Protein backbone atom coordinates (compact mmCIF):
# COMPACT_ATOMS: atom_id res chain seq x y z
CA UNK A 1 0.00 0.00 0.00
CA UNK A 2 0.99 3.64 -0.33
CA UNK A 3 1.87 5.53 2.83
CA UNK A 4 3.62 8.76 3.67
CA UNK A 5 6.71 7.83 5.66
CA UNK A 6 9.27 10.17 7.08
CA UNK A 7 12.81 8.93 7.62
CA UNK A 8 14.11 12.12 9.20
CA UNK A 9 12.81 15.22 11.00
CA UNK A 10 12.69 18.32 8.84
CA UNK A 11 10.64 20.41 6.44
CA UNK A 12 7.71 19.18 4.33
CA UNK A 13 10.18 17.55 1.92
CA UNK A 14 10.85 14.74 4.44
CA UNK A 15 7.33 13.41 3.80
CA UNK A 16 8.02 10.57 1.38
CA UNK A 17 5.53 8.55 -0.65
CA UNK A 18 6.47 4.90 -0.02
CA UNK A 19 5.12 1.40 -0.71
CA UNK A 20 4.88 -0.71 2.45
CA UNK A 21 2.94 -3.90 3.30
CA UNK A 22 -0.65 -3.47 4.49
CA UNK A 23 -1.10 -4.07 8.22
CA UNK A 24 -1.96 -7.72 9.06
CA UNK A 25 -5.29 -8.49 10.75
CA UNK A 26 -4.97 -8.27 14.56
CA UNK A 27 -7.23 -9.32 17.46
CA UNK A 28 -9.20 -6.39 18.83
CA UNK A 29 -8.57 -4.29 15.72
CA UNK A 30 -10.35 -3.52 12.48
CA UNK A 31 -8.63 -2.71 9.23
CA UNK A 32 -9.93 0.36 7.45
CA UNK A 33 -9.34 1.31 3.83
CA UNK A 34 -8.68 5.03 4.27
CA UNK A 35 -10.50 7.50 2.03
CA UNK A 36 -9.40 10.66 3.82
CA UNK A 37 -7.19 12.05 6.55
CA UNK A 38 -6.45 15.62 7.58
CA UNK A 39 -3.52 17.84 8.47
CA UNK A 40 -3.29 18.97 12.10
CA UNK A 41 -0.82 21.30 13.81
CA UNK A 42 0.59 18.32 15.76
CA UNK A 43 1.51 16.67 12.43
CA UNK A 44 3.66 19.67 11.54
CA UNK A 45 5.26 19.65 14.99
CA UNK A 46 5.96 15.91 14.81
CA UNK A 47 7.38 16.15 11.31
CA UNK A 48 9.73 18.98 12.27
CA UNK A 49 10.83 17.26 15.48
CA UNK A 50 9.78 19.79 18.09
CA UNK A 51 6.98 17.54 19.33
CA UNK A 52 9.82 15.70 21.14
CA UNK A 53 9.18 18.29 23.86
CA UNK A 54 6.14 16.19 24.76
CA UNK A 55 7.13 12.85 23.13
CA UNK A 56 10.86 12.58 23.91
CA UNK A 57 11.18 9.09 22.37
CA UNK A 58 9.69 10.12 19.02
CA UNK A 59 12.08 8.98 16.27
CA UNK A 60 11.72 8.39 12.52
CA UNK A 61 10.76 6.42 10.61
CA UNK A 62 7.08 6.92 11.30
CA UNK A 63 3.81 7.69 9.55
CA UNK A 64 1.94 10.83 10.58
CA UNK A 65 -1.78 11.35 10.93
CA UNK A 66 -4.48 11.08 13.58
CA UNK A 67 -7.74 11.71 11.70
CA UNK A 68 -9.28 9.22 9.34
CA UNK A 69 -12.35 8.43 7.31
CA UNK A 70 -12.70 5.22 5.37
CA UNK A 71 -14.40 1.89 4.89
CA UNK A 72 -14.05 -1.15 7.14
CA UNK A 73 -12.27 -4.05 5.43
CA UNK A 74 -12.44 -6.67 8.20
CA UNK A 75 -11.78 -7.29 11.89
CA UNK A 76 -13.33 -7.43 15.35
CA UNK A 77 -16.03 -5.18 16.72
CA UNK A 78 -19.34 -3.66 15.85
CA UNK A 79 -18.63 -2.47 12.30
CA UNK A 80 -19.41 -4.83 9.41
CA UNK A 81 -17.12 -4.86 6.39
CA UNK A 82 -18.13 -2.04 4.07
CA UNK A 83 -19.26 0.29 6.89
CA UNK A 84 -18.11 3.89 6.44
CA UNK A 85 -16.30 5.03 9.58
CA UNK A 86 -14.33 7.98 10.90
CA UNK A 87 -12.05 8.18 13.89
CA UNK A 88 -9.25 9.66 15.89
CA UNK A 89 -6.31 7.25 15.88
CA UNK A 90 -4.28 7.28 19.12
CA UNK A 91 -1.18 8.53 17.33
CA UNK A 92 0.30 10.05 20.47
CA UNK A 93 0.24 6.58 22.06
CA UNK A 94 1.45 4.33 19.23
CA UNK A 95 2.54 6.56 16.30
CA UNK A 96 0.46 4.38 13.93
CA UNK A 97 -0.45 7.18 11.54
CA UNK A 98 -3.33 7.58 9.13
CA UNK A 99 -1.41 9.04 6.16
CA UNK A 100 -1.77 5.57 4.59
CA UNK A 101 -4.10 3.58 2.37
CA UNK A 102 -4.95 1.02 5.10
CA UNK A 103 -4.84 1.36 8.90
CA UNK A 104 -5.37 -1.11 11.73
CA UNK A 105 -7.23 0.43 14.65
CA UNK A 106 -9.19 -0.44 17.81
CA UNK A 107 -12.86 0.09 16.83
CA UNK A 108 -13.47 2.00 20.10
CA UNK A 109 -11.87 4.96 18.33
CA UNK A 110 -14.34 4.81 15.44
CA UNK A 111 -17.85 6.02 14.67
CA UNK A 112 -20.07 5.15 11.74
CA UNK A 113 -20.36 8.04 9.28
CA UNK A 114 -24.06 8.79 8.88
CA UNK A 115 -25.76 9.27 5.52
CA UNK A 116 -25.56 12.92 4.57
CA UNK A 117 -21.95 13.30 5.71
CA UNK A 118 -19.33 12.65 3.03
CA UNK A 119 -15.94 11.10 3.74
CA UNK A 120 -13.99 14.30 3.09
CA UNK A 121 -16.02 16.17 5.69
CA UNK A 122 -15.79 13.28 8.15
CA UNK A 123 -12.00 13.17 7.77
CA UNK A 124 -11.83 16.80 8.87
CA UNK A 125 -13.75 16.27 12.09
CA UNK A 126 -12.33 13.83 14.68
CA UNK A 127 -9.43 15.31 16.67
CA UNK A 128 -10.49 18.92 16.62
CA UNK A 129 -14.17 18.34 17.43
CA UNK A 130 -13.37 15.86 20.21
CA UNK A 131 -10.69 18.14 21.71
CA UNK A 132 -13.12 21.07 21.72
CA UNK A 133 -15.81 19.02 23.46
CA UNK A 134 -13.40 17.69 26.06
CA UNK A 135 -12.04 21.20 26.70
CA UNK A 136 -15.52 22.41 27.59
CA UNK A 137 -15.99 19.33 29.82
CA UNK A 138 -12.66 19.99 31.53
CA UNK A 139 -13.70 23.58 32.09
CA UNK A 140 -16.97 22.39 33.67
CA UNK A 141 -19.07 24.51 31.33
CA UNK A 142 -22.74 24.69 32.30
CA UNK A 143 -25.74 26.08 30.43
CA UNK A 144 -26.11 29.81 31.07
CA UNK A 145 -22.40 30.34 31.71
CA UNK A 146 -20.20 32.52 29.54
CA UNK A 147 -17.17 31.10 27.71
CA UNK A 148 -14.44 32.89 25.76
CA UNK A 149 -13.15 30.89 22.78
CA UNK A 150 -9.91 32.04 21.09
CA UNK A 151 -8.93 30.94 17.57
CA UNK A 152 -12.61 30.64 16.63
CA UNK A 153 -11.76 30.85 12.93
CA UNK A 154 -9.62 27.76 13.40
CA UNK A 155 -10.62 24.15 13.77
CA UNK A 156 -10.82 23.55 17.54
CA UNK A 157 -12.08 27.07 18.17
CA UNK A 158 -14.83 26.67 15.58
CA UNK A 159 -15.99 23.47 17.21
CA UNK A 160 -15.75 24.96 20.70
CA UNK A 161 -18.07 27.80 19.65
CA UNK A 162 -20.60 25.37 18.19
CA UNK A 163 -20.44 22.89 21.08
CA UNK A 164 -20.71 25.64 23.71
CA UNK A 165 -23.64 27.33 21.96
CA UNK A 166 -25.31 23.92 21.61
CA UNK A 167 -24.90 23.38 25.37
CA UNK A 168 -26.71 26.63 26.11
CA UNK A 169 -23.70 28.77 27.01
CA UNK A 170 -23.16 32.40 26.04
CA UNK A 171 -20.16 32.48 23.70
CA UNK A 172 -17.62 35.26 23.26
CA UNK A 173 -15.33 34.34 20.34
CA UNK A 174 -12.11 35.73 18.90
CA UNK A 175 -12.25 35.62 15.08
CA UNK A 176 -9.47 36.11 12.57
CA UNK A 177 -9.58 39.29 10.51
CA UNK A 178 -12.46 39.32 8.02
CA UNK A 179 -13.97 36.14 9.45
CA UNK A 180 -16.36 37.69 11.98
CA UNK A 181 -19.56 36.79 10.09
CA UNK A 182 -18.54 33.14 9.78
CA UNK A 183 -17.84 32.89 13.50
CA UNK A 184 -21.13 34.61 14.32
CA UNK A 185 -22.83 31.99 12.15
CA UNK A 186 -21.33 29.25 14.32
CA UNK A 187 -23.39 30.57 17.24
CA UNK A 188 -21.13 33.14 18.91
CA UNK A 189 -23.03 35.86 20.78
CA UNK A 190 -20.15 38.34 20.80
CA UNK A 191 -17.35 38.30 18.23
CA UNK A 192 -14.07 40.10 18.93
CA UNK A 193 -11.18 40.75 16.53
CA UNK A 194 -7.73 39.28 17.24
CA UNK A 195 -5.83 42.58 17.24
CA UNK A 196 -3.61 43.39 20.22
CA UNK A 197 -1.75 41.37 22.84
CA UNK A 198 -3.14 39.09 25.53
CA UNK A 199 -3.71 41.94 28.00
CA UNK A 200 -5.55 44.05 25.41
CA UNK A 201 -7.72 41.10 24.47
CA UNK A 202 -8.52 40.50 28.16
CA UNK A 203 -9.49 44.16 28.48
CA UNK A 204 -11.78 43.88 25.42
CA UNK A 205 -13.43 40.81 26.95
CA UNK A 206 -13.90 42.62 30.28
CA UNK A 207 -15.53 45.51 28.41
CA UNK A 208 -17.98 43.09 26.79
CA UNK A 209 -18.48 40.95 29.93
CA UNK A 210 -17.72 43.23 32.92
CA UNK A 211 -17.58 40.51 35.56
CA UNK A 212 -15.29 38.34 33.42
CA UNK A 213 -16.12 35.06 31.71
CA UNK A 214 -16.64 31.79 33.58
CA UNK A 215 -14.30 29.90 31.29
CA UNK A 216 -11.63 30.52 28.65
CA UNK A 217 -10.77 27.80 26.12
CA UNK A 218 -7.62 28.85 24.28
CA UNK A 219 -6.77 26.85 21.15
CA UNK A 220 -4.93 29.91 19.76
CA UNK A 221 -2.43 29.54 22.62
CA UNK A 222 -2.61 33.18 23.68
CA UNK A 223 -2.27 32.44 27.42
CA UNK A 224 -0.43 34.96 29.62
CA UNK A 225 -2.48 37.99 30.60
CA UNK A 226 -5.57 36.60 28.88
CA UNK A 227 -6.26 35.01 32.28
CA UNK A 228 -7.44 38.49 33.40
CA UNK A 229 -10.55 37.84 31.25
CA UNK A 230 -11.72 35.08 33.62
CA UNK A 231 -13.92 35.89 36.59
CA UNK A 232 -12.62 35.17 40.11
CA UNK A 233 -12.72 31.42 40.65
CA UNK A 234 -13.30 30.61 36.97
CA UNK A 235 -11.35 28.22 34.75
CA UNK A 236 -8.75 28.70 31.96
CA UNK A 237 -8.26 25.67 29.69
CA UNK A 238 -4.90 25.46 27.88
CA UNK A 239 -4.97 23.49 24.62
CA UNK A 240 -1.88 24.37 22.57
CA UNK A 241 1.67 23.37 23.56
CA UNK A 242 2.44 26.74 25.18
CA UNK A 243 3.34 27.87 28.72
CA UNK A 244 0.39 27.98 31.10
CA UNK A 245 -0.73 31.40 32.37
CA UNK A 246 -0.02 32.10 36.02
CA UNK A 247 -3.07 31.30 38.14
CA UNK A 248 -4.59 34.28 39.97
CA UNK A 249 -7.74 35.16 41.96
CA UNK A 250 -8.70 31.53 42.41
CA UNK A 251 -8.82 30.93 38.64
CA UNK A 252 -7.91 27.33 37.89
CA UNK A 253 -5.61 26.61 34.92
CA UNK A 254 -6.18 23.17 33.40
CA UNK A 255 -4.52 21.55 30.37
CA UNK A 256 -6.61 19.34 28.10
CA UNK A 257 -5.25 16.14 26.63
CA UNK A 258 -7.57 14.88 23.90
CA UNK A 259 -8.81 11.32 24.33
CA UNK A 260 -10.12 9.42 21.33
CA UNK A 261 -13.80 8.63 21.89
CA UNK A 262 -15.83 6.91 19.17
CA UNK A 263 -19.15 7.45 20.98
CA UNK A 264 -18.53 11.20 21.26
CA UNK A 265 -17.56 11.35 17.58
CA UNK A 266 -20.77 9.53 16.62
CA UNK A 267 -22.80 12.20 18.41
CA UNK A 268 -20.91 15.01 16.64
CA UNK A 269 -21.29 13.35 13.23
CA UNK A 270 -25.03 12.98 13.90
CA UNK A 271 -25.21 16.73 14.57
CA UNK A 272 -23.44 17.32 11.24
CA UNK A 273 -25.88 15.07 9.41
CA UNK A 274 -28.79 16.93 11.03
CA UNK A 275 -27.34 20.28 9.97
CA UNK A 276 -26.94 21.41 13.60
CA UNK A 277 -23.17 21.82 13.23
CA UNK A 278 -20.76 22.26 10.38
CA UNK A 279 -17.17 21.35 9.60
CA UNK A 280 -14.91 23.73 7.73
CA UNK A 281 -12.86 22.22 4.91
CA UNK A 282 -10.52 24.70 3.21
CA UNK A 283 -8.52 22.55 0.79
CA UNK A 284 -8.59 18.98 -0.54
CA UNK A 285 -5.41 17.38 -1.91
CA UNK A 286 -4.45 13.79 -2.70
CA UNK A 287 -2.46 11.95 -0.01
CA UNK A 288 0.54 11.86 -2.32
CA UNK A 289 0.67 15.65 -2.00
CA UNK A 290 1.07 15.56 1.78
CA UNK A 291 4.24 17.67 1.56
CA UNK A 292 2.39 20.40 -0.34
CA UNK A 293 -0.44 20.20 2.22
CA UNK A 294 2.08 20.79 5.03
CA UNK A 295 3.54 23.77 3.14
CA UNK A 296 0.08 25.29 2.78
CA UNK A 297 -0.66 24.67 6.44
CA UNK A 298 2.60 26.31 7.52
CA UNK A 299 1.97 29.32 5.29
CA UNK A 300 -1.41 29.69 7.03
CA UNK A 301 -2.86 30.50 3.60
CA UNK A 302 -5.88 28.19 3.98
CA UNK A 303 -8.78 28.89 6.33
CA UNK A 304 -10.39 25.53 7.18
CA UNK A 305 -9.04 22.00 7.40
CA UNK A 306 -6.74 20.58 4.75
CA UNK A 307 -8.02 17.11 3.88
CA UNK A 308 -5.87 14.51 2.14
CA UNK A 309 -7.88 12.09 0.03
CA UNK A 310 -6.75 8.54 -0.64
Ligand X SMILES: NC(=O)c1ccc[n+]([C@@H]2O[C@H](COP(=O)([O-])OP(=O)(O)OC[C@H]3O[C@@H](n4cnc5c(N)ncnc54)[C@H](OP(=O)(O)O)[C@@H]3O)[C@@H](O)[C@H]2O)c1
Minimum distance, C-beta of residue 227 to ligand X, in the bound complex (Å) = 15
Pairing status of strand 230-238 against strand 252-255: parallel
- Among residues 267, 283, 296, which one has the least CA distance to residue 86? 267
Contacts of 50 (CB under 8 A, 6+ apart): none
Please give the helix or strand (H or E) that residue 41 lies within, else none: helix 41-48
C-alpha gyration radius of the chain: 19
Q: Which is nearer to ligand X, 22 or 137 (CB)?
A: 137
Among 7, 74, 94, 257, interactor with ligand X by CB under 6 A: 257
Among 256, 265, 287, 306, interactor with ligand X by CB under 6 A: 256
Q: Which is nearer to ligand X, 191 or 220 (CB)?
A: 220
Regarding 112 and contact with ligand X (CB under 6 A), the answer is no
Q: How far apart are CA 294 and CA 298, in angstroms?
A: 6
Among 157, 212, 223, 234, interactor with ligand X by CB under 6 A: 157
Minimum distance, C-beta of residue 155 to ligand X, in the bound complex (Å) = 4
C-alpha pair distances (Å), 1 with each of 14, 22, 104, 156, 310? 19, 6, 13, 31, 11
Stretch that binds ligand X, among 14-22, 71-79, 165-173, 213-221 (CB under 6 A): 213-221
Q: Which is nearer to ligand X, 102 or 192 (CB)?
A: 192
Among 239, 279, 281, 291, interactor with ligand X by CB under 6 A: 239
Regarding 127 and contact with ligand X (CB under 6 A), the answer is yes
Q: How far apart are CA 307 and CA 268, in angstroms?
A: 18
Question: Count of alpha carbons within 13 Å of 16, Cβ hemisphere only?
Answer: 13
Q: Which residues bind ligand X (CB under 6 A)?
A: 40-42, 127-128, 131, 150-151, 153-157, 174, 176, 194, 219-222, 239-240, 256-258, 300
Amino acid sequence: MKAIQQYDFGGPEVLTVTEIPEPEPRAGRVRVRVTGTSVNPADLAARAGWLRQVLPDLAPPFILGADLAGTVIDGDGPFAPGTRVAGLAPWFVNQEGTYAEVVSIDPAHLAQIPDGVDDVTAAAVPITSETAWQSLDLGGLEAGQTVLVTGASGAIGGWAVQHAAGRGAKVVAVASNGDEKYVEGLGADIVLGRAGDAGELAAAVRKAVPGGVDLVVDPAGIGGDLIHAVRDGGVFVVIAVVPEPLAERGVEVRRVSAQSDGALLAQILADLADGKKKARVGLILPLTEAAEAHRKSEERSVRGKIVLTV
